[in-house]
Structure 1
């Protein structure tokens, strides 16, 4: 047991007193809930059917005597009005219904004087057995990191009780954060048993104003009497609890972004801006960042832009000369002596000054070998013979490296000697833990291309390395997302349930690293950030490249999941991530943001406010963004969105946009048009009928699940509809 504070020790003792009399008691689903007043704090105590208990602090006023002015009950909602020396509290409590054991409470304070909070205790006390001085024992499995979701997922093991998922709706704290100039990052967590949410401490001259109301807590809690027995049970419970809370969590409104225009601007700047290009040995290559001429061309960068461009030209039937330029330069990255493609362009690799560990000619970042191979395999499966040769010729080396490291990759190693340059991300944290999944994806691609069983065996061998990693699997978001898709495919090929469970494990790691709140303070007021995804497990910002690749990987996952029995919670959460990204992604472009929130001098290259090339990074509301630079290899953003969310109906002079993923879209020249929405029927999404020419839209008949629905007029002559997930849509028109 870790050392504890006197606050927790005293609260545990008083809350366990048999003489304690509750103000209010109710039962639901076998659980008992008590409201108790300890004079300096008011608590909600929840008891499991087996009588193990946990307490949540609703109000706090040190060295005070809180007075309950009113306790009102209506249906299953309680309202507490409490007076204290430093102000008036109002607490709204939504008690559990009959179907879900989910609690919600919201605490608002109106200070009687300008207030500073230099310290605030965490708000959860896992209680020991009644009349016992022995503290409860348990384990925290997920907690907030940085500005990710304000979440806490833990289990109580002594006395045996179950598991708890706690989510603080940090969006609601925006007024507090704005007034005190504090961040909502790292506010939910702690070490057992000192756990929960603590208000960020205020600083001098940044006090709460007297007479103004501030939300101090807005918590959603799911209780379960199941203590997960193994990793798959833990993952399923986490995902189901997260989805349960998500359904009732307040979510911001989204807005339609017209991606055809956004893509046109981005394509123009990508091709015509000199800062996006370098030239080596007669070939043109994309820079990694705008005006980054110090870093040699990287094969990952070229392919990270080429593949989304290919998605776009297949959708549009366009011809892009830029794709030919990129392809012509790819063979230069193949090293005949080593028998593999390498990261840096060999002709200029020795110009690097080694200011970073990986910026040396023969140093490989483990995922940087596999990511280009994955993209080369995609090109090969589409019939590109140059890509196929580069891919197949590099497979032997990739397998040799995998076996050398026993399918557990370090961070950096030398490509010639396989000497480890950097073994771990941090001491004791291991290397790039999700690379076994990325490697498995590459091997699956090789099997699909050649049908040689040795590649399928390699994929299975590597996949086993991810078992037992729990919520520590995630190294980089796109790698983990590709791993999830690979394991779902492995499950479909082998019918072994372990691979489906591993795909869930990968997805749970990704969803642990999102932000389920909107940062509406400081610079955060200028862009939506709800459901944003962080690229690394400790990254302080969200990043365009990883987000757009996860977006595409999620689409692929849903495609492979068609007809498969996968967790409904996953279908819900994946579709919702996609829905919010389709709006959010445009705010990675500096043209959409005020100049004041952009770094004038990024770490790499330069930021051109007028250039439709995405920033790498968006930060917490008190920090400027664009710190890293303007990311050329994140240019696939628009090229990934347009083909996946716009269905073309040229015969009717329109396109159909949905912000949920779809499947089953009928051929362009047939009518009526039919398709199915992904997601969950309990949630809503947007559909736009987008006119593509100067003429008005034709007279339309739109049916959702066999019921006719009407759209509303939108800017640009388009029509907007609100639909539900899982719906079947049929659209017809008069010529």
Structure 2
């Protein structure tokens, strides 16, 4: 099969074969050759088997390179070049890494203001003879929307190997700010033209005589071509983690959640826009000032569960908990033997404006999500939640068996008629629902010890086989499915469950934005390492991010004592570290008014209210268009029990932005384990402790085989290695 190509690729193979390299070097067992072919400067990576792939380091824009100079330094090469239109600097760097990697950073300084209507992609597979149109390969991962600028592909004709490519899109923010363009959908392409397509500025000219970074690419070369699902996702996770260790990373945002939690609790409980009264009982609205949409059970439980966690941590009660708990039983429908989505007394108010806003219509994941939260409350001793959960579980089983463990998007609860089978034509239904279903079956087993629930879980999980990255449908459900799969692995010893958990997590990290959108309104929001709720979602969402945060904590808890992929000990803790501060910026109280949309789809935004916006968009788009989601208002309630630890003996609180385990208070000391990588760092703060006591505290961390003193950076603040035992000692 011949692949169609553009004119900017059609002659590259011939140009390279007819040119002599201007520089050659070796990178481990690979050869690297640099060519100047007129309008482009190329780096050709040659595999040990002779296969090769070309990387465009610079593009001349309708002009040829006239002066190219190369100088060497330890671990890097500097290339300076110029055309009639601009001057370029290219730094080719060879970082110390466990993989075979190089990085090229290209800057551009134009001689006059320029509009740039086109730019070709920067990766092209080559052949030993013939033309690039005859090559073949498989693209495993590419950028979607504003997600990471990543590309993972294998070249299979000829059999060459694989490439993991990652653009540090943060570096292009100044260019985007100057020209008002976006970095969405810039890394990808169609075989054989792949890689980064620099975002063109066809309307606002690039200023003259200002240097901008136009590419900052990390490239990892691999001789292997993964074929099995587990090999593909494990190679992706390993490559992403290896690259992540080398990436420039912003400082994580800081936020003290303790006072914020009290503001949030007060705002939700007392603000009328958060509540609807039905039958004399209060129910949370999904969105502030949305009185048209009936109360939903998912919304009540989405706040109730983290509120229960927070109140338990705090050791106090609050009347809002009882209000929410008392209203749950009204969502149970005896005629079908299950909880339902909408408040039964309000179904006539459904306006049918959306497919699911109809009587007895169920979105498949919407049944399992409330059941999961009910089971969590049940395991913590809530008898009302336990009864609702167990009274509904047989209906969930009935639905699963009816659909043969492959769920559609929408169905009728009474007849099980399929109302919408696929998310898009040919894409199937909600593919991570088997994982959610298996999760609630495991919870039912924990509550009852009935083996039938384990059997149901194993039947459902078979539907995940062969999906790899495509298990991902909704981020929070996929992330919690990963933990459930590990629990199945611990029960059965079957390694396929552990491997499937890696597929779930690969889907999560594939849908992350590991760059900072520092242009437009993006200057006001810390995007780095955020996660998108759906494969095609155009924005990140508050509630789903909170649940992914909680689910990744859970994954580390259930894998304690199990050897998991080292890459996960890099990626999971770092997601948590950045989420802890970033999630605060969903609250409009921390955002400038000009960033918030004037019109919302649902309800009305109250900018001084501690209830988060649902949606954060690309830097050139305003946020909060969907609404101000009440069901996401429990962010602080979910974060505090996982990142704040009471220090009874010191009279204060410990905050850490990394996951930890084995927290123990002894007579004169506290110990815990930091659960990450020695290549990274966590931040710890000792809060609410008197200066006198702080002066008597010594912090140590076990590095290799011995404890070493950790220096105090400022009052009660410390920088810890990302893995190891920490002890805090109060001297007499």
Instruction: Pick closer, same or farther for the CA change 1:72–1:697 going to 2, 3 Å.
Output: same
What secondary structure does 2:578 align onto? helix
Residue equivalent to 2:716: 719
**Distance of 2:437 and 2:493 partners within structure 1:** 20
Instruction: Pick closer, same or farther for the CA change 1:355–1:132 going to 2, 3 Å.
Output: closer
**Distance of 1:218 and 1:416 partners within structure 2:** 55
Residue equivalent to 2:10: 9
Q: Which of 579, 586, 601 is residue 581 of structure 1 equivalent to?
A: 579
Whether the aligned pair in 2 keeps the contact of 1:653 and 1:697 (CA below 8 Å) is no
**Distance of 1:581 and 1:134 partners within structure 2:** 43
Which stretch shifts more, 272-281 or 497-506?
272-281
Matched, 1:558 2:556: yes
Whether the aligned pair in 1 keeps the contact of 2:652 and 2:687 (CA below 8 Å) is yes
Whether the aligned pair in 2 keeps the contact of 1:364 and 1:415 (CA below 8 Å) is yes
Residue equivalent to 1:684: 681
- How much does 1:692 deviate? 5.4
- How much does 1:97 deviate? 4.9
**Distance of 1:531 and 1:96 partners within structure 2:** 22
The TM-score, its normalising length taken from structure 1, stands at 0.97
Matched, 1:485 2:483: yes
Deviations 1:406-439 (A, max 9, x none): 1111111110011111111111111111101000
Residue equivalent to 1:39: 38
- How much does 1:651 deviate? 2.6
Instruction: Pick closer, same or farther for the CA change 1:589–1:693 going to 2, 3 Å.
Output: farther
What secondary structure does 1:174 align onto? helix
Deviations 1:445-466 (A, max 9, x none): 0111111111001111111111
- How much does 1:693 deviate? 6.9
Residue equivalent to 2:590: 592
What secondary structure does 1:81 align onto? strand
Deviations 1:496-551 (A, max 9, x none): 00000000000000000000100000000011110010011101110010000010
Residue equivalent to 1:128: 127
Whether the aligned pair in 1 keeps the contact of 2:152 and 2:163 (CA below 8 Å) is yes
Matched, 1:141 2:140: yes
Residue equivalent to 1:432: 430
Whether the aligned pair in 2 keeps the contact of 1:76 and 1:95 (CA below 8 Å) is yes
Residue equivalent to 1:346: 344
Residue equivalent to 1:65: 64
**Distance of 2:169 and 2:512 partners within structure 1:** 13
Deviations 1:123-169 (A, max 9, x none): 11011224556632101111100000001110010111111110111
Residue equivalent to 2:278: 280
**Distance of 2:580 and 2:86 partners within structure 1:** 43
**Distance of 1:378 and 1:608 partners within structure 2:** 32
Deviations 1:241-274 (A, max 9, x none): 0001000010001243111011111111111111
Matches within 5 A, 1:476-515: 476-515=474-513
**Distance of 1:307 and 1:556 partners within structure 2:** 15
**Distance of 2:693 and 2:31 partners within structure 1:** 61
- How much does 1:112 deviate? 0.4
- How much does 1:98 deviate? 7.6
- How much does 1:62 deviate? 3.8
Whether the aligned pair in 2 keeps the contact of 1:28 and 1:98 (CA below 8 Å) is no
- How much does 1:28 deviate? 2.1
What secondary structure does 2:478 align onto? helix
**Distance of 1:257 and 1:302 partners within structure 2:** 26
- How much does 1:12 deviate? 2.4
What secondary structure does 1:4 align onto? coil
Q: Which of 712, 720, 728 is residue 725 of structure 2 equivalent to?
A: 728
Residue equivalent to 2:256: 258
Residue equivalent to 1:21: 20
Matched, 1:629 2:631: no
Residue equivalent to 1:707: 708
The TM-score, its normalising length taken from structure 2, stands at 0.98
Residue equivalent to 1:74: 73
Matches within 5 A, 1:506-545: 506-545=504-543
Structure 2 unmatched runs, 5+: none
Whether the aligned pair in 2 keeps the contact of 1:173 and 1:216 (CA below 8 Å) is yes
Deviations 1:187-211 (A, max 9, x none): 011111121111122132x111110
What secondary structure does 2:114 align onto? coil
Whether the aligned pair in 1 keeps the contact of 2:678 and 2:722 (CA below 8 Å) is yes
Residue equivalent to 1:296: 294
**Distance of 1:227 and 1:381 partners within structure 2:** 45
**Distance of 1:132 and 1:546 partners within structure 2:** 46
Whether the aligned pair in 1 keeps the contact of 2:126 and 2:132 (CA below 8 Å) is no
Residue equivalent to 2:172: 173
What secondary structure does 2:78 align onto? strand
Deviations 1:370-415 (A, max 9, x none): 0010011111111211111111111111011001111111111110
Q: CA RMSD in A?
A: 1.4
Residue equivalent to 1:270: 268
Deviations 1:537-566 (A, max 9, x none): 101110010000010010010001111010
**Distance of 1:99 and 1:600 partners within structure 2:** 49
**Distance of 1:296 and 1:694 partners within structure 2:** 52
Count matched residues: 727
Whether the aligned pair in 2 keeps the contact of 1:28 and 1:96 (CA below 8 Å) is no
- How much does 1:229 deviate? 2.3
Whether the aligned pair in 2 keeps the contact of 1:702 and 1:730 (CA below 8 Å) is yes
Deviations 1:593-651 (A, max 9, x none): 00011012211001111001111011100000001111100012111111111110123
**Distance of 1:362 and 1:698 partners within structure 2:** 62
Deviations 1:324-365 (A, max 9, x none): 111101010000010000000000111111000000121000
**Distance of 1:729 and 1:96 partners within structure 2:** 30
Instruction: Pick closer, same or farther for the CA change 1:614–1:96 going to 2, 3 Å.
Output: closer
